[in-house]
Amino acid sequence: MDKELLTQEVLRLKAERQAVILAHSYQLPEVQEVADFVGDSLGLAREAQRTRAKVIVFAGVHFMAETAAILNPDKTVLLPDLEAGCSLADSIRPEDVLAWKEAHPEGIVVAYVNTKAEVKALADVCVTSANAVEVVSRLPEDRSIFFVPDMFLGAHVARVTGRKLDLFPGECHVHAGIREEHIQALLEAHPGAEFMIHPECGCGSSCLYLKPDAKMLSTEGMVRHAKRSEAKEFVVATEVGILYRLAKEAPGKTFIPVKPEAVCEYMKKITLEKVYLSLREMRHVVRVPEEVALRARRALEAMVAVG
C-alpha cells in the first residue's frame, strides 16, 4: 500500500479498535501525522493516563509502552515493533540499583523514565528531562540521592539544583554523540541563531561555556520555546526527528540540527506500515508483571504529578 492508503487504513482501524495513537516527537513524520498526540515522555505518560480509549498504540520505544501499560492496567497497549528498544534503558540493571540501596539504606533513588519497569519498581520517584530539576529540588536535603541512568542529565540536574547526586554512568548513544565540536561549528556558521540543547547531550557544561545563553531544554521545552521566541533561526541539539514537529508548530522559522546524523535507529523502527499492522493484528501487546507494575506505578504517578 502507498502512504495515502496506509494512512486511511490506520485511521479506519483506529476508529474500529477504539484506539488512540501516541507518538514521540522523534518519530517519522508520517507516524506523527496519524497520531492523536505527539509529545515528550512526560506528556505521553499523562496522555496515556487520561485517555478513555480501549487500546493504546505506542509509537515510541519499549520503555514508553511499558510506562503506558503500568499506568493503564485495564487497557491494551501495543508496540508496533518489539525491537524498538533504548540503549540508555538497557545500560542499567536492577542489581545496580539494589547495590546502591544496600550501601545507602536511607537514600533516595531517582529514575529517569528511560528505564525498564524493573528499575522503575526500585525507584522512589521517576522523572523526565522536563521535570527532573523540579523533582530533585524538592527532595530532602539530608538524604543521599542516586540518579539513574543518564549521567549527562544527572550532571545537568546537579548543576542547576546545587544538589550532590550519585550518578550512574549511563548515556543515550545518540545524545552522547553530540559533542563540543558540533556546537563550535554551528556557532561559527550561525552566530545569530538561538541554541536549544537537550540535557542528555554529551557536551554538557562545555556547551554552556561556548554558548552561555543556550537553552537547556527537554523536547517539549524546545517546542514551547520555539513557538514563543522572537528568534527566526534555531540550532537544535537532539535527535533530528523533532525537526519535523518544530517546523510544523513554529512555521516560518528555521531549525538547524547540530548533528544531522543524530538519528535514533530504535525510534525509526516504528513505521506507518508497522502501525497499520499493529492495529490490524493487535500486535505486539506489552505487559508488565503485576508485582513489578504495582511498585513502578507509585514512582510513575509521582512523576506525572510534577511539572
Binding-site members for iminosuccinate are 24, 41, 112-114, 129, 198-200, 219
Q: What cell numbers appear for 75 in the block?
A: 487497557
Q: What is the DSSP code string of the chain?
A: --HHHHHHHHHHHHHHTTEEEEEETTS-HHHHHH-SEEE-HHHHHHHHHH---SEEEEES-HHHHHHHHHH-TTSEEE-S-TT---HHHHT--HHHHHHHHHH-TT-EEEEESSS-HHHHTT-SEEE-TTTHHHHHHTS-TTS-EEEESBHHHHHHHHHHH----EE--B--HHHHT--HHHHHHHHHH-TTSEEEE-TT-TTHHHHHHH-TT-EE--HHHHHHHHHH-S-SEEEEES-TTHHHHHHHHSTT-EEEES-TT---TTGGG--HHHHHHHHHHT-PBP---HHHHHHHHHHHHHHHT--
Annotated binding site, which residues? 24, 41, 86, 112-114, 129, 172, 198-200, 219, 264
Annotated binding site for [4Fe-4S] cluster, which residues? 86, 172, 264
238 with 201: CB under 8 angstroms?
Answer: yes
57 with 81: CB under 8 angstroms?
Answer: no
